[in-house]
């Protein structure tokens, strides 16, 4: 391998070596550090607040914290909450106290994966932050409104980091190839432009992941020429966390694509989940709910088909179970849609809050001895033996709870409901 000697001299992985040292080397997050970016303005004024950086991995959260430290010329302490203890935090807070007494300035405490601290560990940081002894910068890949203690969250400025654009990823990759000090500039690499483009797509906005792919590609190559076929030989994967935002965001995109009758998008999100190792039973559960919530009476067969596919999957398993997932996805996406069931549920709860009906005497239980003597069930008409009994009243007054929109096969149910209501209440309803 032609890079063996260089590999011995390098200082850590490519992504570490190529970390931006200044705003001029920082790519992406224009809404924060671009021209007129709010965070850049705060840094330049030396007025950096305690903050929370949240967003996907490889989007510059740690790098930006380091740049802030350099720009403000403040001591920088870095903890990773996945391995740090309360004792580690206490030592840094003591150091911050001493530094503040001597200089009347704070230190910067950057805590990576801050969501891994429990509530008490997070709240320990509050006094020093409020006293101005530390500028706390927390970093998390999770949604902070679910992962961070509310008391701490209310005291932090929240900045969202977004996945890098493909053009930014390509710029970072080309910088790595051309940088003689920290990258591969000494080796006169010839890399097909399609390689940069493909890595940018595959990395899903994650600069660290893109650089790791480039490093693996370059340092396992015997020559200076790297083409698209070399890239295709590498094992690539999706960014996906079965318990994190990506899990919830992807299933949300899948369900919304089904609801919007877009089989193309539905299949794309389905196979992203499958390729990422999502539990197929979780996907089936969501489609079973969808069959009732978003299709319902517009195509009553939908719940039967969904149930049948879920049951068949238990006999087939993976990988053949993909056929059942794909079949059901296509079927549900192309079914007529109606949320009559959801709307009727909402109406039922609303009416229940507004009205309190006693059970009419003719509907009360009359199966026990002497029930008839106290009027239970008196006057009840049995629809199976008296078809016209369907028109008797089952509520003391008319309340429109069921809301049938009349989409797809619902037209039949809507017309039937309209006729029954008209006769039952002797009026147009």
Kindly report, residue by residue over 353-391, the tens digit of the pLDDT: 888 888 887 777 777 777 676 777 777 877 887 778 778
- Do 354 and 329 reside in the same domain of the chain? no
Please report which confidence band the pLDDT of residue 240 belongs to, taking 50, 70 and 90 as the band edges: low
Q: Rounded distance, CA 2 to CA 304, Å?
A: 61
Question: What domain range is 210 assigned to?
Answer: 164-232
- Do 264 and 296 reside in the same domain of the chain? yes
Domain CATH number, residue 52: 3.40.50.300
Q: Rounded distance, CA 6 to CA 248, Å?
A: 42
- Could you say which of 160, 175, 209 is where a domain stops? 160
Asked if residues 43 and 137 have their Cβ atoms less than 8 Å apart, the reply is no
- Cα–Cα separations (whole angstroms), residue 260 to 99, 289, 310, 334: 58, 16, 22, 9
Among 77, 85, 152, 70, which Cα is nearest to 111's? 77
Please report which confidence band the pLDDT of residue 309 belongs to, taking 50, 70 and 90 as the band edges: very high
Report if residue 206 sits inside a domain: yes
Q: Which of 30-44, 91-105, 150-164, 230-244 has the lowest mean pLDDT?
A: 230-244
Sheet hosting strand 157-160, strand order edge to edge: 76-80, 107-112, 134-140, 51-54, 157-160
123-165 residue pLDDT tens: 888 888 888 899 999 999 888 888 888 888 888 999 999 999 9
Phi-psi region for residue 188, left (φ > 0), alpha (ψ -120 to 50) or beta? left
Report if residue 14 sits inside a domain: no
Phi-psi region for residue 55, left (φ > 0), alpha (ψ -120 to 50) or beta? left
- Do 151 and 34 reside in the same domain of the chain? yes
| Mean pLDDT score, 222-238 | 77
Task: List 237's β-bridge partners, or say none.
Answer: none
- Cα–Cα separations (whole angstroms), residue 12 to 8, 81, 175, 227, 266: 10, 22, 17, 26, 41
Please report which confidence band the pLDDT of residue 8 belongs to, taking 50, 70 and 90 as the band edges: very low
- Do 413 and 317 reside in the same domain of the chain? no
- Do 108 and 224 reside in the same domain of the chain? no
| H helix runs in 260-383, sequence order | 263-275, 280-290, 301-316, 321-334, 340-354
Domain CATH number, residue 220: 1.10.8.60
CB atoms within 10 A of CB 407: 18
- Do 196 and 135 reside in the same domain of the chain? no
- Do 136 and 175 reside in the same domain of the chain? no
- Do 192 and 146 reside in the same domain of the chain? no
Indicate whether 325 pLDDT > 90: yes
- Could you say which of 138, 160, 182 is where a domain stops? 160
Report if residue 299 sits inside a domain: yes
> DSSP secondary-structure letter at 388?
G
Domain count, the chain: 4
Q: Which of 36-45, 287-296, 326-335 has the lowest mean pLDDT?
A: 36-45
pLDDT at 173: 92
Upstream peptide bond of 192 is cis (omega within 30 degrees of 0): no
- Do 41 and 154 reside in the same domain of the chain? yes
Report if residue 2 sits inside a domain: no
Report if residue 404 sits inside a domain: yes
| Mean pLDDT score, 167-174 | 92
CA–chain centroid gap for 402, Å, is 33
184-215 residue pLDDT tens: 878 788 888 888 988 888 888 899 989 988 98
Domain CATH number, residue 328: 1.20.272.10
48-103 residue pLDDT tens: 889 999 988 889 999 999 999 888 888 999 999 888 888 899 999 999 999 999 99
- Do 156 and 168 reside in the same domain of the chain? no
Please report which confidence band the pLDDT of residue 45 belongs to, taking 50, 70 and 90 as the band edges: confident
- Do 299 and 386 reside in the same domain of the chain? no
Asked if residues 272 and 313 have their Cβ atoms less than 8 Å apart, the reply is no
- Could you say which of 136, 160, 184 is where a domain stops? 160
Report if residue 69 sits inside a domain: yes
| Mean pLDDT score, 268-286 | 90
Q: Which of 251-260, 287-296, 323-332, 358-367 has the lowest mean pLDDT?
A: 358-367
Q: Rounded distance, CA 340 to CA 48, Å?
A: 51
Please report which confidence band the pLDDT of residue 265 belongs to, taking 50, 70 and 90 as the band edges: very high
Report if residue 17 sits inside a domain: no
Buried-state track 377-395, b at ≥16 Cβ within 10 A, e below 16: eeeeeeeeeeeeeebeeee
> Rounded to two decimals, what is the model's pTM?
0.62
- Do 259 and 208 reside in the same domain of the chain? no
Report if residue 396 sits inside a domain: yes
Percent of the chain with pLDDT over 90: 36
Strand 76-80 relative to strand 51-54: parallel, antiparallel, unpaired?
Answer: unpaired
Strand 190-191 relative to strand 51-54: parallel, antiparallel, unpaired?
Answer: unpaired
Indicate whether 429 pLDDT > 50: no
Q: Average pLDDT over the chain, rounded to whole? A: 86
pLDDT at 220: 79
CA–chain centroid gap for 69, Å, is 31
| Mean pLDDT score, 328-341 | 94
Phi-psi region for residue 341, left (φ > 0), alpha (ψ -120 to 50) or beta? alpha
What's the Rg (C-alpha) of the chain? 31
CA–chain centroid gap for 413, Å, is 37
- Of the two residues 123 and 322, the one the predictor is more confident about is 322
| Mean pLDDT score, 106-131 | 89
């Amino acid at each position: 391998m032609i890079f063996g000697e260089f590999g011995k001299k390098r200082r850590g992985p490519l992504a570490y070596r190529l970390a931006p040292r200044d705003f001029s080397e920082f790519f992406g997050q224009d809404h924060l550090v671009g021209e007129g970016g709010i965070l850049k303005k705060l840094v330049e004024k030396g007025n950096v607040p305690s903050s929370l950086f949240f967003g996907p991995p490889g989007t510059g959260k740690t790098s930006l914290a380091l740049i802030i430290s350099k720009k403000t010329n403040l001591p920088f302490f870095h903890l990773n909450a996945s391995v740090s203890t309360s004792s580690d935090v206490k030592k840094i807070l003591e150091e911050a106290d001493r530094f503040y007494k001597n200089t009347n300035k704070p230190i910067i405490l950057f805590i990576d994966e801050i969501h891994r601290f429990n509530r008490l560990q997070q709240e320990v940081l509050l006094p020093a932050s409020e006293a101005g002894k530390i500028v706390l910068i927390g970093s998390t890949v999770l949604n902070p409104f679910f992962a961070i203690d509310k008391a701490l969250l209310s005291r932090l400025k929240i900045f969202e980091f977004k996945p890098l654009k493909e053009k930014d990823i390509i710029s970072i990759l080309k910088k790595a190839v051309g940088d003689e000090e920290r990258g591969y500039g000494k080796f006169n690499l010839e890399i097909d432009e399609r390689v940069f483009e493909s890595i940018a797509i595959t990395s899903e906005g994650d600069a660290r992941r893109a650089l790791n792919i480039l490093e693996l590609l370059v340092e396992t190559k015997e020559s200076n020429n790297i083409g698209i076929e070399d890239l295709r030989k590498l094992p690539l994967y999706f960014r996906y966390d079965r318990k994190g935002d990506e899990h919830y965001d992807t299933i949300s995109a899948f369900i919304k694509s089904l609801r919007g009758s877009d089989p193309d998008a539905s299949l794309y999100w389905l196979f992203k989940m499958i390729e990422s190792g999502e539990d197929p039973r979780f996907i089936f559960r969501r489609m079973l709910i969808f069959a009732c919530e978003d299709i319902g009476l517009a195509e009553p067969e939908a719940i039967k088909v969904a149930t049948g596919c879920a049951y068949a999957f238990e006999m087939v398993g993976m990988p053949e179970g993909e056929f059942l997932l794909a079949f059901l996805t296509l079927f549900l996406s192309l079914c007529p849609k109606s949320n009559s069931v959801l709307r009727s549920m909402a109406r039922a709860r609303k009416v229940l809050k507004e009205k309190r009906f006693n059970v009419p005497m003719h509907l009360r239980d009359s199966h026990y001895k002497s029930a008839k003597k106290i009027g239970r069930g008196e006057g009840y008409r049995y629809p199976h033996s008296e078809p016209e009994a369907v028109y008797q009243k089952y509520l003391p007054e008319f309340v429109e709870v069921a809301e049938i929109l009349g989409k797809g096969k619902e037209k039949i149910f809507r017309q039937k409901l309209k006729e029954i209501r008209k006769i039952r209440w002797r009026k147009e309803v």
